[in-house]
């Protein structure tokens, strides 16, 4: 949707250009536009309309992208058309709130990712989030929470005092059956995950869990990059003869760790973990100093929010297996 940042009204007739595909469309009477069949990838979106400042932003579309983008256009004072001002965007603080569009209540714990900055935060118990060192100008803010439709919003960040980015999320159908039951099921699953990690800690080796806040704030693009740069695990190319491209170094040896994603064994090992952006991951567990790694996605946690499941015990195989 393309809208007037001053009035909030949809803008019709705005030209939307998607590069490098050179696909073009225009917004309708309510400001809505659509493009079907756009594959995952990095694109430059340009939006122009007479009487408004041109809008341009690089956007990375992934499989977990919510599919809806809100683009604010700033009215252009006609008397200033001939004046050109050049300035360097300065880092500012971005403050916002995430709320339920049905109930109007705040959504605590929502994951908020600022695309161009590569890092994010979690909303607090009041649904409020605060992101430091955001470059002033157009930004895409992606918001995700279990039980709600993910959403990406284009905002014009100015850093002005009192500026608040308000983002409403739409609950998924199963949330309407009872938000209390959903919250209880999520708590049950998190308790089971902590219990398994605690049971593993009595064995020899190093065990750690990295939650969604650690994943968001890391700035890492993929689960593999996070594992290598922000944990005690060090990845490297596998020796000849191994089935995967990436292995783990431990105790002077290099080998393939056992990797599970959403409680399903991943034959590709760490290669499979490279396919997941950190924004799609809810939790990463590392067992036995890196010989066993388990990752959980938001999709898995959402499924278990409807019905909790039993977890596979940590195998704790010796290194190398």
* 263 φ, ψ (degrees, to nearest 5): 65, 20
- Pair 167, 98: CB distance under 8 Å: yes
Which residue from 146, 197, 189 is spatially nearest to 316, judged by alpha carbons?
197
Give residue 122's pLDDT: 93
Report how far residue 263's alpha carbon sits from residue 296's, in angstroms, rounded to the nearest whole number.
Answer: 8
Give residue 86's pLDDT: 46
Give residue 175's pLDDT: 66
Token pair of 318 as six digits: 């010796």
pTM: 0.70
Give residue 179's pLDDT: 67
Give residue 85's pLDDT: 47
Give the model confidence (pLDDT) of 84-94 as tens digits: 444 556 788 89
Query: DSSP labels for 78-93?
Result: GGGTT--------EEE
Give residue 60's pLDDT: 79
Report how far residue 171's alpha carbon sits from residue 166's, in angstroms, rounded to the nearest whole number.
Answer: 16
Give the model confidence (pLDDT) of 72-83 as tens digits: 888 876 534 444
User: How far, rounded to the nearest angstrom, does the alpha carbon of residue 208 sit from its chain's CA centroid?
Assistant: 22
Contacts of 116 (CB under 8 A, 6+ apart): 57, 58, 135, 139, 140
Report how far residue 278's alpha carbon sits from residue 145's, in angstroms, rounded to the nearest whole number.
Answer: 14
Give residue 107's pLDDT: 92
Contacts of 163 (CB under 8 A, 6+ apart): 94, 95, 157
Ranges of residues in the chain with a pLDDT under 50 are 79-86, 202, 318-321
Which residue from 62, 54, 78 is spatially nearest to 142, judged by alpha carbons?
62
Task: Return mean pLDDT, the chain.
Answer: 82
Q: Taking the C-alpha atoms of 219, 40, 166 and 175 in order, what is their torsion angle to the nearest 10 degrees?
A: -100
Give residue 264's pLDDT: 92
Beta bridge pairs of residue 235: 248
Give residue 65's pLDDT: 61
Which residue from 5, 24, 23 is spatially nearest to 13, judged by alpha carbons?
24
Residue 227: its H or E element: helix 223-230
How do 165-169 and 208-211 pair as beta strands? unpaired
- Pair 266, 243: CB distance under 8 Å: no
Report how far residue 112's alpha carbon sits from residue 165's, in angstroms, rounded to the nearest whole number.
Answer: 11
Report how far residue 108's alpha carbon sits from residue 128's, in angstroms, rounded to the nearest whole number.
Answer: 8
């Amino acid at each position: 949707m393309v809208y007037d940042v001053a009035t909030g009204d949809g803008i019709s007739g705005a030209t939307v250009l998607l590069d490098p595909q050179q696909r073009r469309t225009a917004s309708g009477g309510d400001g809505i536009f659509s493009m079907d069949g756009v594959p995952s990838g990095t694109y430059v979106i340009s939006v122009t309309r007479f009487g408004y400042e041109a809008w341009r932003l690089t956007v990375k579309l992934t499989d977990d992208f919510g599919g809806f983008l809100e683009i604010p256009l700033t009215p252009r004072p006609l008397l200033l058309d001939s004046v050109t001002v050049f300035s360097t965007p300065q880092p500012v603080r971005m403050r916002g709130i995430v709320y339920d569009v049905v109930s109007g209540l705040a959504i605590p714990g929502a994951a908020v990712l600022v695309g161009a900055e590569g890092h994010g935060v979690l909303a607090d118990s009041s649904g409020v989030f605060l992101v430091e060192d955001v470059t002033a100008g157009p930004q895409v803010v992606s918001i995700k929470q279990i039980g709600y439709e993910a959403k990406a919003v284009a905002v014009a960040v100015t850093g002005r005092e009192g500026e608040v980015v308000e983002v409403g999320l739409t609950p998924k159908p199963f949330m309407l059956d009872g938000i209390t039951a959903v919250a209880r099921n999520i708590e049950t699953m998190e308790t089971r995950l902590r219990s398994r990690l605690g049971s593993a800690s009595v064995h020899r080796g190093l065990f750690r869990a990295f939650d969604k806040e650690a994943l968001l704030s890391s700035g890492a693009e993929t689960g593999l990059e996070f594992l290598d740069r922000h944990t005690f695990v060090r990845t490297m190319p596998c020796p000849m003869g191994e089935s995967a491209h990436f292995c783990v170094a431990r105790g002077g040896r290099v080998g393939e760790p056992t990797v599970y994603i959403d409680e399903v064994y991943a034959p590709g090992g760490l290669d499979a973990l490279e396919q997941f952006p950190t924004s799609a991951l809810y939790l990463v567990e590392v067992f036995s100093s890196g010989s066993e790694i388990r990752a959980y996605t938001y999709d898995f946690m959402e499924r278990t929010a409807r019905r909790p499941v039993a977890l596979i015990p940590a195998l704790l195989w010796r290194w190398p297996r």
